[in-house]
Structure 1
């Protein structure tokens, strides 16, 4: 018997095309895992690039300071500018000696055109500009790229032109806002008791920069390589961050901040559940006016000054209700783990949050201090405090 097989074309096995649903889900899951592994590395690389750019900005500012000193044989004054004795506050007849070091340095970091506007009368404004609170004066609200760190997202109102870099004012809050002239720019209309103010400033104002006084490289007897000139600060975002808006101590009428640098945290103003933020309702400076780094042109401590009392990225704690008041004003940044500083020799250091900082409960050095707080004492705040003083006679050995 013959058997004939009739194989039809459509009886052949068919080859599959595409993927099954399971296969697609597996591929998607693998891609998701790879992206999850890669994304932190990409973000870290981007932050490393931003941090390098920030360090380069700091380096350029250091070159500007050295070129300024080479030209004028002194450092730019913190709290310089013009003064008309007895002029009403808000009259804008002068800038009330409230200019930061950055104003005088503008022609030395590629802002010659802006400097020409400031130094010459502009419209109804006086030479060297009006009070730095005048938001209608264009130079004061100009954002300068050289003064901004790429890691800091702060921008726009209610700030004027922001700055991420501040002058080092030493390791004491006493007279850090006044210096030898005793000016408190929003309350005092005349200069008086200059001898007494000078004595107070001589004892306490130990940084490379002193409010309302010129300093020179020769004043830095501890050595330029051992003395901080400029530090990084992060600007306020309006989120009650303890680094960017100052709390006002519960006993602000006294010198509590001078006597206990961590006064605001000690008094329970920080949120226990979120210790990087102040409690809702805690007394702070008005965020709309006094945010950290909000006015590049102003010498107010909250705007363009810092001290080496509390380590980087610690809290702002002031003894008065405005940005020009004295207070503990640490360096800070959006970089993980620390902040850049510029040393007097032009070198850039990244100071970690864990730098040796001494006793944060120790009273500052000032004219009325005793023991380790007496005038001429070494800094009570360890290596960090020693780096912030220009002539305290402390030896800094090794790298930091």
Structure 2
């Protein structure tokens, strides 16, 4: 009798063991794969920022200063006279469009919204076609071209909604496909409008009515005596990019060159050149991330109820700021802070990034409405990418000490008056 042949194959127990081993291996590999993918997305984001920083520095070399974060058109009718009773009104910031948009822009200001910093560097971003077709005398939402529709001119509204890959971080999921998205914002210091610095109350949650946040009081009371030129002088030491205005408005058929500067003082001419970055370009932030800027087809109260994109000049869409809580709830940096300490280099600036607050780095990830948080946030775990004025790009943790963060925001903190003067920053505190 022939011996029975054993059946070839695996037993059920053997199969279960193999499947279990495969499952364990896959479980071990998935985090590594996800981490590698995140690293690749972060590297792409950093590459985008590096190229944008290069474009901004090229612009600075050509023009002698960085561009305005947002540019608005002034109303010539606000200047009644250069002599007699109306003399000097061009130096009155309350007559400027900057005064109105510093709080909550309205639809009446929509016709004054020119363009953002992105438009100024289109040529440097290898977007010659967009740059050559853009009409500077028109708003970013203009639906017609000069003299009406022509075969060679494209309305700004169409150009501004063109999707540009370099302007969007791969980890920014708060975007609309095939539209003018934006993930990056330049350093505006501690106020949205330097010429008229008022505070910002952070949003706890999405709230289009603004009942849970918005503008509040004066950001600085250095101008308590009415010397707003002095306040502007300090604001220029606290940021790199500023909201500006020009007399060059197509609405009334005029083409009057010049900035809102009139007589002394100058409200709209705030610009930063390399020489003004006395704290060092390698220790001064140029660009950061914000998933709440860029395209919004509906429009919000923070954009004059106008749709937005990378060309929108509105303050909460064209820049980021650090928390202005360094000045306390009263807006007076010279008073005692809420914790009972006196404002000094080691305490006042700490409030620039208080973990757990609504204005700290990263809290914007809790919000979805565009324009509702002018503070840094990103889709990267635990931190954000920053481009510095020397062209370097670094990843910085969201929990960075507020004093260190304040120092790398300000280009000339060492030139501030006592007791707000900042001491030199240790680069080991923010360079990983």
Which of residues 37, 51, 69 is equivalent to 2:42? 51
Matched with 1:314 is: 363
User: Are 1:312 and 1:351, in contact at CA under 8 Å, matched by a contact in 2?
Assistant: no
User: Which structure would you say has the larger Rg?
Assistant: 1
Unaligned runs of 5+ in 1: 1-6, 128-134, 183-194, 239-243, 245-284, 358-381
Q: CA RMSD in A?
A: 4.0
Distance 2:70 2:294 in 1: 25
Cα deviation, 1:144-171, whole Å, max 9, x if unaligned, reads 11111111223327x951211101111x
Distance 1:219 1:97 in 2: 27
Does residue 240 of structure 2 align to residue 208 of structure 1? yes
Cα deviation, 1:219-253, whole Å, max 9, x if unaligned, reads 22222122111111224899xxxxx9xxxxxxxxx
Matched with 1:144 is: 164
Matched with 1:162 is: 181
Cα deviation, 1:309-364, whole Å, max 9, x if unaligned, reads 3342135999xx994xxx8632111111211111111111211112111xxxxxxx
- Specify whether residues 180 and 103 from structure 1 end up closer, same or farther in structure 2 by C-alpha distance, changes over 3 A only: farther
User: Are 1:229 and 1:342, in contact at CA under 8 Å, matched by a contact in 2?
Assistant: yes
- Specify whether residues 141 and 86 from structure 1 end up closer, same or farther in structure 2 by C-alpha distance, changes over 3 A only: farther
- Cα deviation for residue 54 of structure 1 reads 0.8
Which of residues 374, 383, 400 is equivalent to 1:329? 374
- Specify whether residues 53 and 16 from structure 1 end up closer, same or farther in structure 2 by C-alpha distance, changes over 3 A only: same
- Cα deviation for residue 396 of structure 1 reads 1.4
Matched with 2:427 is: 398
Number of matched pairs: 292
Matched with 1:218 is: 275
User: Are 1:162 and 1:235, in contact at CA under 8 Å, matched by a contact in 2?
Assistant: no
User: Are 2:284 and 2:388, in contact at CA under 8 Å, matched by a contact in 1?
Assistant: yes
TM-score by length of 2: 0.58
Matched with 2:286 is: 229
Q: Secondary structure at the match of 1:12?
A: coil
- Cα deviation for residue 209 of structure 1 reads 1.1
Distance 2:28 2:15 in 1: 20
- Specify whether residues 95 and 198 from structure 1 end up closer, same or farther in structure 2 by C-alpha distance, changes over 3 A only: farther
Distance 2:305 2:281 in 1: 32
How do residues 366-377 of structure 1 correspond to structure 2 at under 5 angstroms? none
User: Are 2:385 and 2:395, in contact at CA under 8 Å, matched by a contact in 1?
Assistant: yes
Cα deviation, 1:115-166, whole Å, max 9, x if unaligned, reads 1121377872459xxxxxxx98112211211111111223327x95121110
Matched with 1:188 is: none
How do residues 95-174 of structure 1 correspond to structure 2 at under 5 angstroms? 96-119=112-135, 124-126=144-146, 137-156=157-176, 160-170=179-189, 172-173=190-191
Does residue 82 of structure 2 align to residue 61 of structure 1? no
User: Are 2:383 and 2:396, in contact at CA under 8 Å, matched by a contact in 1?
Assistant: yes
- Cα deviation for residue 98 of structure 1 reads 4.4
- Specify whether residues 197 and 290 from structure 1 end up closer, same or farther in structure 2 by C-alpha distance, changes over 3 A only: farther
Unaligned runs of 5+ in 2: 79-96, 98-105, 148-154, 199-225, 245-269, 324-352, 354-359, 415-421
Matched with 2:23 is: 32
Distance 1:177 1:231 in 2: 18
Distance 2:274 2:398 in 1: 28
Matched with 1:345 is: 390
Q: Secondary structure at the match of 1:141?
A: coil
Distance 1:76 1:287 in 2: 22
User: Are 2:116 and 2:313, in contact at CA under 8 Å, matched by a contact in 1?
Assistant: yes
User: Are 2:239 and 2:409, in contact at CA under 8 Å, matched by a contact in 1?
Assistant: yes
Matched with 1:130 is: none
Does residue 70 of structure 2 align to residue 79 of structure 1? yes
- Cα deviation for residue 25 of structure 1 reads 2.4
- Cα deviation for residue 85 of structure 1 reads 3.8
Q: Secondary structure at the match of 1:99?
A: strand
Cα deviation, 1:341-397, whole Å, max 9, x if unaligned, reads 11111111211112111xxxxxxxxxxxxxxxxxxxxxxxx1101111121203112
User: Are 2:302 and 2:314, in contact at CA under 8 Å, matched by a contact in 1?
Assistant: no
